[in-house]
Structure 1
Amino acid sequence: MKFRPSFFLPTNHQQTVMNPLLGPLLRFYNRVQLKREVFKFKDQGQTAIDWVDVIPSDLSQQDGAMNKKELRPIVVVVPGLTSNNNEIYMLNLLIEAKKKGFQGVVVNYRGASEMELSSPQLYCAASSNDVREPVEYIRNKYCLNSKGQQIRHLYLVGNSMGAGLVANYIGEENDKCFIRAACCIQPPMKMWITGQAIANNFYGAYDKAIGSNLVRKIQKHADMIHDNYHQNFGVDLKKHLQEINTVTAYDHHITSKVFGYGTRDNYYDKASSIHKVPHIDVPTFVLFAKDDPVIGEGSIDYEICKQNPKILLGVTDHGGHLGYFETFMSTQQWFVKPVFEYLSKIKEMDEDNTPIEAKL
């Protein structure tokens, strides 16, 4: 399976920019109905869990026969740093999930997708617990019956920073991970490389674009969290939000301090999923584009991935960042094909009761 970029979108920057430009078009013509469930973290924070079409039945209260819809495997999709549930790549994944017989669901970030913060806690590239807790909740309520028996499998797909979070989470869980299979789409495997790529590519335009989106998102909650950040971390949040215009500056002044890393360099090192990839113990498809102007080609570690037999690494020459547009006249994105070819193959094995080692 080979990606061939549109003749009219040959460069990585064109592929990347088409992502936000085509989003409104897809939302208008292919509306995905989402049903919201509010999830509470153990620290009293909250986030939105958005289900495609319908919130499933609570299987933890059942032990009898289930209907076909209740037996569909669940695929949890995690967005990128400043993204919500309605980004074009998120919608394309959810649309394809439904076509392939999966129950799609989005785990959003704190304070995102029109959710208010209920605690001062935000999120960063090391916040794997913000994936862990909602995913455990989904498994316990919607995948296990009242006897604790697994009724259906749970899959996990992460995009960009969300892919890094997914890799960190399943790596931390190691052989205790209950996820059936995962896909990590363009993860910032080496965040120090990603930081350089964001700051240097396209005259720093990505640094400014991502930074301004992040600042806008945090400003909505500034009144609630400002005093806490000032008292506990010595961070003058409102002042920084007025002055910051790049994501690398945000990480320097805010993220590294609030999450206890001290410096941006230390944060980028500690949050990088490259440290957790060797410990991943579930089938995982990792996809990169060599020309990704946000993640950076240097973030791809072929040797580390090769050393882990659970990882299937896919690398394309082109694609940009979450672009992968084969034609200028469509909102479809190519990367969705290999993602669901991989997940569907594993789903097929489970339905045939075939050991995964026999076919992968």
Structure 2
Amino acid sequence: MEEDYRAPSYDYDEFFVKSMSFLSISHNYLLLLLLAFLVFLYNFLEVHFLADLLTAFRGNPVLLTYNSSSQLYQSVVSKCRILHGRFFPTPWLSSPHLQTAFLSLVAESPHVTYERHMFYASDGGTIALDWLMSSDVKGASCTNDATRENDKAPILIVIPGLTSDSGSAYVKHLVDKMAKHGWNVVVSNHRGLGGISITSDCFYSAGWTEDLRKVIDHIHCQYPEAPLYAVGTSIGANILVKYLGEDGVNCLLAGAAAVCSPWDLLIYQS
């Protein structure tokens, strides 16, 4: 006896509705996950585009902490017009991390040709000193034709930040600008940076000022008539400030500037 076979009947309309409902739920979850990720990324990169948008990109006034009775403030800071204006961030670079990446990866940096001198520390460590003399820069506001040993032009010693060296974009901008204003500039690369191998068991750190001290002494001996100045950035600023505090009145520098110094390293590590 043969049995009739009947194919199971399906309600295709119901199947379609359930499928679309499932896809809709999955789609909503994906949108929520994407939104959560974007919020995380916005905060992680410290983006301030929305805050700038709410203020119509009017910028914020520069805040200064200083001693108003200081002669240094009256003679230096009062002449820096940019410090008395407002900061207007580029809308599509409204994040410090994006600004750093743009400068390093996209923005053009000046072509700088250094003259490298090697400085050897007493423990066997090697430090590359990359020089750019004002006389070697085209378009410098003033040049000095005297022999380099008797050069009285001011010398700027640049101490780069963590993992930075004379080839970093922001360093080259600083070096080029100062050389064009008649300064002789030298970048004191940290041990192991600037293409130099580590030649001793001692490495640089934020608390190690002996390398900077020896480099300053060395440059002063080479150019006894030239006033010495220094600019440190990030970790380099920390090293510079620590050196200034340690040497006090015995410091050989006529002036110094610390840019973005991490004053409390424990906070920065957390």
Secondary structure of residue in 1 paired with 2:93? coil
In the superposition, the TM-score normalised over structure 1's length comes to 0.46
Question: For the Cα contact (< 8 Å) 1:20–1:88, is it kept in 2?
Answer: yes
The alignment partner of 2:92 has SS state of coil
Specify the SS of the correspondent of 2:106. helix
TM-score normalised according to structure 2 size: 0.61
Q: Distance in 1 between matches of 2:157 and 2:125?
A: 20
Displacement of 1:32: 0.4
Looking at structure 1, the residues matched to 90 and 157 of structure 2 have their Cα atoms a distance apart, in angstroms, of 29
How far apart in 2 are the matches of 1:48 and 1:85? Answer: 9
Q: Hey, what's the Cα distance between the residues in 1 that align with 2:184 and 2:226? A: 11
**Structure 1 segment 13-92 matched on structure 2, within 5 A:** 13-22=97-106, 25-26=108-109, 30-53=110-133, 67=146, 70-92=151-173
Residues 35 and 55, structure 1, Cα contact 8 Å, conserved in 2: no
Deviation, structure 1 residue 181: 0.5
Select 2:195's aligned residue among 114, 117, 134: 114
Q: Whole-Å Cα distance in 2 between the matches of residues 49 and 22 of structure 1?
A: 27
CA 1:53/1:181 → structure 2, altered by over 3 Å: closer, same or farther? closer
The CA deviation at 1:139 is: 0.8
Write out per-residue CA displacement over residues 16-53 of structure 1, whole angstroms, 9 at most, x where no aligned residue.
32232236x32xxx210101000011112111000015
**Does structure 1 residue 169 correspond to structure 2 residue 248?**
no
Alpha-carbon distance in 1 for matches of 2:265, 2:135: 35
The residue identity in structure 1 corresponding to 2:168 is E
Structure 2, unpaired ranges of 5+: 1-81, 137-144
Conserved 8 A contact 2:134-2:183: no
The residue that corresponds to 2:67 in the other structure is none
Q: Distance in 2 between matches of 1:186 and 1:22?
A: 22
Please say if residues 40 and 46 of structure 1, whose CA atoms lie closer than 8 Å, have aligned partners that are also in contact: yes
Q: 1:127 aligns with which of 188, 200, 208?
A: 208
Q: Which residue of 1 aligns with 2:93?
A: 9
Q: Map residues 213-252 of structure 1 onto 2, 5 A cutoff.
A: none
Is there any run of 5+ residues in structure 1 with no aligned partner, and where? 57-65, 145-150, 197-360
Task: Quickly say closer, same or farther: Cα 1:9–1:170, change in 2 above 3 A.
Answer: same
Structure with the greater alpha carbon radius of gyration: 2
Alignment of 1:317-356 (within 5 A): none
d(CA) in 2 for partners of 1:85, 1:98: 14
- Percent identical among aligned pairs is 30
1:159 aligns with one of 233, 244, 248: 233
Q: Which has the higher contact order (CA 8 A, sep 6+)?
A: 1
Question: Does residue 1:105 correspond to 2:186, yes or no?
Answer: yes
